[in-house]
Amino acid sequence: MKKIGILYISTGRYTVFWKDFFSSAEQLFLAEDDYEKHYFVFTDAENIENESIERVHKIYQEPLSWPYITLDRFTIFQKARPAIDRMDYLYFFNGNMLFVDNVGKEILPTLSHPLVFAKHPGFYNKDRSQFTYEIDLRSSAGVSDEEGQFYFMGGLNGGIASAYLGMIEHLEAQVELDKKNGLIAVWHDESHLNRYAIDHADLIKVIDPIYGYPEGWSLPFAPKIIIRDKTKHGGHDFLRNEKVSFLKRIRKFLRW
């Protein structure tokens, strides 16, 4: 039986999404008997739903200020080793994702394409000139005007465990190099993922935005996984337990 490792970061108030994510993944994600799903939940919560289940592995993760909770994602994943080394496949899902339809073997990588990246729903039909790559070439995530075919979302990626672990080790090193040089890529982990995809295009199995469909959007295809609207659950700052400055509140009120 193949083991699927699911990497899931849930700090602060993001735990509000965990129960529904878990139940939907159990029901709709690789539900065939051929697969055993293990959930690696990086959280500061004292207790989470279903933590008594043997396949749910809780790993302590302190809340990090923005943008480090995303930028340092690859370092966070390393906390679960060597347990994730024993998985056959690894997938990362954003904390506010929810399965709404069956996701089967079509999402699995292959030996020739051992990594799986999803097209970003905001750019799936856009011209290359509109992609929001990191343009500062001093950054290890920098992309020149002549590069890039797709723009991938940061909230869902996966692959054969050995290939995926190699990727996160490389990206962790690239992020740390940028930090030493006083740089932070424009879209943090997503920027570094897109640089990696350009450099390793022959390894990437490309999947469509049906696996990352923002709630409330109207796109010309039916979703299999939705990205839940954070504003319905207090918004980014509330979910991260961050205080919002008076000026920021005024700007939101005025819709600046």
User: Closest Cα partner for 194 from 146, 151, 131, 139?
Assistant: 151
Q: Which residue has the tokens 């939705």?
A: 226
Q: Is-catalytic flag, 190?
A: yes
Reading the block at residue 218, the tokens are: 């109207």
The torsion angle over the Cα atoms of residues 93, 192, 146 and 123, rounded to 10 degrees, is: 30
Helices (H) and strands (E) in the chain, counts: 7, 10
Tokens 């000139």 map to which residue? 129
109 CB burial (10 A radius; 0-12, 13-18, 19+): buried
Check 36, 62, 147, 190 and give the catalytic one: 190
Measured at the CA of 227, the angle between CA 224 and CA 228, to 5 degrees, comes to 120
**d(C-alpha 232, C-alpha 237), whole Å:** 12
Encoded tokens for 250: 């005024």
Give catalytic residues, as residue numbers.
190
